A and B are shown apart, each in its own frame.
Chain A
Amino acid sequence: MTTTEISLMAHLMRRAGMGATRDELEALVTQGYESVVDDLVHPERFSRGDPDIIHPYLHGPLPQEPSTDDNEDILLRYYRGIGAPGASSPGKWIFHMVNSKRPLKEKMGLFWHQVFACAPSKSAHPRTNRRQLEMFRRVGMADFRTILLELSRDPSMLFWLDNNENHKDEPNENYGRELLELFSMGVGNYTEEDVKSSAYAFTGWSFVQPAHGAVPYGKWATRFDFREADHDYGEKTFLGVTGPLDGTDVIDTVVDQPATARFIARHLYNFFVADEPPVAAWNEIPPLDPEAIDTLMAAYFESGGSIAHMLQVLFNSEFFKNARFAKVKSPTELVGGVLKLIGTYRQANPGIDHYAGATALMGQQLMAPLTVEGWQTGSGWINGGTLNERVNFAVEEVSDPDKPGIRAIIDRLGRRNGSTLTPEELVDGCLELVGPVEVEEDTRQELIAEAVADGNIIFNGNRAVTDERIVNMLQLIVSTREFQFG
């Protein structure tokens, strides 16, 4: 097993999930890269392990298949709305992202949450908003038609973009426009007449009025409702197609457009491969790697818009394999990766909300994107304040040698190098076990210079000293510029 193989697998797992422990990486390398990718895009092969964020029996029918998963029910027991001690939805989501046996499914939830940004601040109806997240996780790797159809029937989105106010005699264009501009093709690929037709096509797409507000008994999640009497059945023309079109017809037309394939390909590239400029600039600034976009577009059309197929092509491509550390970690990726590294919260313990708070301080409050355009990614994640939060967070989290992941690193370093660890071995060993993290040579030399001051580490000496020196090195590594990249 080579360092290159480990590095490549670590890259894959950082992008397709929240990273992996060293033991997990070694097992995955043994399994083989393409086989791992195949598993990632087939989450149904693994037990759920990622359940509860929104649970089916919060509202609606009783569960038909009781879970046999290792931790679903335990999460429900300990993290389900017990006021403060359990966890908020973002906290629970972070738990799932770190622990799920279906990491790409969780990551795709995060992806669609970014692309189809929908904040709860308007509706203040968390039960309904959580269902949207459940939907993203459920259909996140399906074909794009299915995804757009689910999105267009999602009460949270319908309310967020006012489609509940889209009546045949008083149309509201908000959803019909954003579906085209932000959710599929992008500006410049449709006309104002198409927007109007789209809006009329979605008239009557609404939701059932839920029973309550906050008082007296809390809120019930609601569901899609097609209000036939409020729907415009008249003839419309949309992107050259004419007829008594409804929302489904609009989506059928949208998903056939090359602009849609390009739009989704670029989003996937931006999220999984390398940072692109903000979405608003995509009309003016060409893709970083046009050939990669073409490849992903071809995958889109050859599979009927299957996102799973696009991801499989993406992860197996050379442009992906060569894009190590080409992305600034999002706050969620940074926090999730650190949790993977330190090995805590493998069980549902109190305090997971701390990590949701941490991502918010770094500029990404999960389930509360600031606008319909989502967050500014890439270098947009970094400013003086958020960088400070990112570094302080990581330094604090790796400071305890008794955290399982830190202890595992210390033990590995001891086993690997016998009784003595030179400063160079300390730096290189820590860099490898933290990521591997690839740092510039100048950075490496600075780390070595720090380590040289205290000489070799003797493992049969004072354990407290050994622990402290390794922890100090880990803290330096997570403070580097390079650690901010994934």
Chain B
Amino acid sequence: MPQPYALLRAGFPYLKTVGVKNVIDDPLDVAFGGDGRVYVLGSAPIRITNIDHEDLGTIGDRSFGVDYGSNGEAISVPEGELFMPVQVILDREDNLYVTDEACHTVSIFSKDGDFLGRWGEYGTEEGQLNRPSGLAFDADENLYVVDTMNHRVQQFTKGGHFLKGWGSFGNGEGEFNMPWGVAVDDDGDVYISDWRNDRVQKFTPDGDFIFEFGRTGTGRGEFVRPAGIAVDHDFDIYVCDWGNNRIQLFTPEGRYVQQFTGDATLSEPAIAATRTRLRTVRLRTMADLETEKMFRGPRSVRVDENGLMWVPDFESYRLQVYRKEPFHLEPHQLAPPLKAPSLQPN
């Protein structure tokens, strides 16, 4: 889908909160499948739900009885189990791909929960991984994998065959310090949240540096360890500003638009669960509710095909959903570009 010339941004209101504890536990990331299914990576380890909170089952098993290496690394995670999962993504067949930092692998499951395989091995050589995290497909369904501790991004076929990669440790252009998230726009350009450098870098599909934005801080357009990242069909860029407990929205050029700090309300199942606990209801009448709406430790942000922004609210057992309200503009529908801000509206 081509990038729109411009947007009239009507708003980006909070839509609803999905989930409740014991259903959406420790949500790390979300992915979207057919029939409105939402796959939530967390403690389940993958819970299937939808915008209507339905509990549609789980995929995979959590691993607990792993063997540790001499320095504590989990070196033996059984197939089909996940120990330190980070991100999940679906291909066009609705198969799920999940990174696991503990065993340096990408595991693959069918939408019905069948374990289809796993690839990836620990190391620093081309095609090897050291704590893989972010995942994104390009238009050809080749998979970008952020290779966190090797400070690079690599691309593989869905079967794990190495295709290309770039990046090394540092803070210059094309260098990374423990990158986390990756996203691909409709032109195939690649966005990497450069976690420990507190910035986002954009590259061509060949790995050529295009631009960067962000710096360390708590202000607008600043980051404290950006984690997940997403790009929608308008080429807007969403950055999960993990250390600042917020999502920041940027234009395709990297200009700050707005931030989201959380607006959660009690979901329908949360209301039901709460009302079965009389003491909880009473305490709630006495409580300071100011902070409960806010994000706590979000690690990812995703945008679905309907333009809904989903934020896995990691420490609060819920997903917060927002609806973008944009109007695409042609050049004749707005004034020509201005070189400077102005106080004259017309």
Contacts and interface: CB of A to CB of B under 8 A. Distances in A.
Contacts of A78: 84, 101
Interface string A54-88: 00011110111010000001101110111111100
B6 interface: no
B20 A344 contact: no
Nearest to A348: B72
Interface string A190-224: 00000000000000000011111111111010100
B118 interface: no
Contacts of A403: 70-71
B270 A81 contact: no
Contacts of B217: 66
B71 A349 contact: yes
B12 interface: no
Interface residues of B, number: 59
Interface in A78-127: 78, 80-86
Contact of B20 (A59, A210, A217, A400): A217
B184 interface: no
A24 interface: no
A68 to B, nearest CB: 8
A402 interface: yes
Nearest to B223: A66
Given A208-B288, A218-B21, A400-B70, A213 B277 contact: yes
Per DSSP, chain A at the interface is loop
Interface residues of A, number: 46
Contacts of A243: none
B267 A82 contact: no
A351 interface: yes
A60 B315 CA distance: 14
Contact of A82 (B26, B68, B70): B26
Contacts of B224: 63, 66
B21 A83 contact: no
Nearest to A347: B71
Interface string B21-40: 11001101000000000000
Contact of B64 (A57, A84, A218, A346): A84
B176 interface: no
Interface string B49-78: 000000000000010101011111110000
A62 B218 contact: yes
A467 B296 CA distance: 48
B179 interface: no
A132 to B, nearest CB: 19
B317 A217 contact: yes
A214 B274 CA distance: 10
A64 B243 CA distance: 11
Interface in A1-35: none
A352 interface: yes
Interface stretch (B136-144, B231-239, B279-287, B334-342): B279-287
B280 A215 contact: yes
B225 A73 contact: yes
A77 to B, nearest CB: 8
A190 B21 CA distance: 49
A400 B70 CA distance: 7
A352 B72 contact: yes
Most A CB atoms within 10 A — which of B66, B216, B291? B291
A159 interface: no
B194 to A, nearest CB: 13
B296 A58 contact: yes
Given A83-B25, A85-B84, A212-B292, A66 B243 contact: yes
Contact of B84 (A60, A74, A212, A350): A350
A301 interface: no
Contacts of B198: 66
B196 interface: yes
23 contacts: A62-B218, A62-B244, A66-B217, A66-B243, A73-B243, A76-B243, A77-B225, A78-B84, A83-B43, A209-B286, A209-B288, A213-B279, A215-B21, A215-B274, A216-B317, A217-B292, A218-B315, A345-B71, A350-B74, A351-B74, A354-B68, A400-B70, A402-B70
